Each structure stands twice: as C-alpha cells, then as structure tokens.
A and B are shown apart, each in its own frame.
Chain A
Amino acid sequence: MKRDLVLFLLLAAIWQLWSGHAETLILVFGLLSCLIVTLMARRMDRTDGSFVDWMLAARSLLYVPWLLLEIVKSNLQVAGVILNPRLAIRPRLVRVKGSQKTELGQVIYANSITLTPGTITLDVRDGEFLVHALTEEAAAGVESGNMDRRVTALEGRR
C-alpha cells in the first residue's frame, strides 16, 4: 500500500540521517527495523485523520510558537509559586468543554493543557476535559478557552 511505502521510506531516510553510517551490517539492521516498524504500524488501526496532513503542519507553524510562549509564561508563574515561602496554591478541578471535532484535535488540546505547568488533563470524555489546576490563575487560564479556540483553529475544517 502507498501509505506503508511512504512510512517505510520516511523511516529509512530518518535512520540514515541519524546514524550516518553506511556499512552493510548497519544498513541491513536499519532496513529490518524500518520493515518491522512499518508492519507494526500497519497492524495498529489509525482511524482518525489522514497519514500526513500538510495543512495542519503548516497551521502548526503559528500554533507552536504561541504554545511555547504560553509554556514559558506559565513556567515562570509556577516557579514563582514554588519559590514563594507561603506556597500559595489552590489546587482544584475544572471541567471545560473542548470544541475540537477530531480525536487528533482533542489529543493536541489535552497535551497542550498538560504541557503548560499549572494545569494537567486528568480525563477526556465526550469532548469534555477534566483539568487539575494548581492555582486560581491557572484554572482561570483554562476556563478562558483561549487555548481551546486556537487548537480548534489549528484543526481546521473537515
């Protein structure tokens, strides 16, 4: 199948780039590994989305820098909380609705929440996200829905 062939060639190219060796033994190992991984990927069912979504990759060029900035900001906040002798935390659970339509979009949103310190996704069910927040500020950040909108925009129309 075309998809398997693309995956195999991609894996082979990455192997060569990472190893930088051209001895026969290493090459055979590489080809065997790529073949095994391709077969395993074939046996796993990928139900959601296409193999490589180039438009999504292009849109993520806008999303990723924004996310990195958010991560830096919330890192500084949580670091401040940790170093504050009063340890002013107010842990709480918040439930937020996610507006993503695909599983991939939900995974990106859940992982983005978890990646920003101060908030962590406990559970995703029926498009509802259960989030553990360390402080009021972090909880308010998730509830504002700013990240949710950006992830949905990243997801695009299908």
Chain B
Amino acid sequence: MTMAIEIASWFLLVSGSIFCVIGGIGLHRMPDFYTRTHAASITDTLGAGQVLVGLMLQEGLTLVTVKLIMVGVLLFLTSPTAAHALVKAAAAHGVRFDGAPGGVSEAADERAGDD
C-alpha cells in the first residue's frame, strides 16, 4: 500500500514538473502576449496542482497536507484573477495580437480603444 502511494506520489511530482516545463516551452513558442498567458496557465493549474497533490501523498493526513490544500485553494483563486488583470491591462494599453495566423485584431483594438 505504501509502495502504491509512493509510486502515485512520484508519478504526480514528475508529471507536474513536466507540465511546468511544457508551460515554459509554450511561453517561448507562442507569438504574442495573449497566447502566452494560455501557456502560463498550464503551469498554474495542472503543473502546480499535480506537484501539490504529489506532496500531499508524501505527507499523508497531517497538518502539512491541510496547509498544502490551502495553498492549492489560494492558487486556484489568485492565478485566474491575476491572469485576468494582466490581459485586461494589456488590452487597455492596446497590446496587439501579433503573429496570430488567424488574424483577429479588430475586436480587441476596438475594445481597447474605448477603455
């Protein structure tokens, strides 16, 4: 049983780390500010989430696990709020949708204009 928990824990820790790296790769590959935030949210959610659950499995039912849960709750409330504030500020300052193959800028420009 402890062996199974150990394996699950390390699987989550390694997998979470891999998703953090994927988020980092995405930050470099994405063409503009807005698309980069999508990559960053991988690190915030599945990356951090899996690492936290992995650490909880290491600890078992202790106070540390309760604290880890609170870290997770805090992260899941603050990271979308911060991401929203970032993109809203970017749109308000007219940061463009550069390099987007789809060509989507009009709506954002118009929106940014009236803020």
Instruction: Give the B-binding residues of A (Cβ under 8 A).
Output: 17-18, 20, 71-72, 75, 78-79, 82-83, 87, 89-93, 110-112, 114-123, 130, 132, 134
Contact = CB atoms under 8 A, between A and B. Distances in A.
Interface in B68-100: 70, 76-77, 79-81, 83-84, 87-88, 91, 97, 100
Given A89-B101, A92-B102, A120 B34 contact: yes
A17 B38 contact: no
Contacts, number: 108
A75 B40 CA distance: 11
Nearest to B108: A93
Chain B interface mostly:
helix
Given A91-B35, A91-B104, A93-B104, A130 B111 contact: yes
Interface residues of B, number: 41
A87 B91 CA distance: 23
A72 B83 CA distance: 18
B80 A75 contact: no
B84 A90 contact: no
B35 A89 contact: yes
Given A82-B25, A110-B80, A115-B41, 11 more contacts: A17-B63, A17-B66, A79-B19, A82-B22, A82-B26, A82-B30, A90-B101, A93-B104, A93-B108, A114-B84, A120-B34
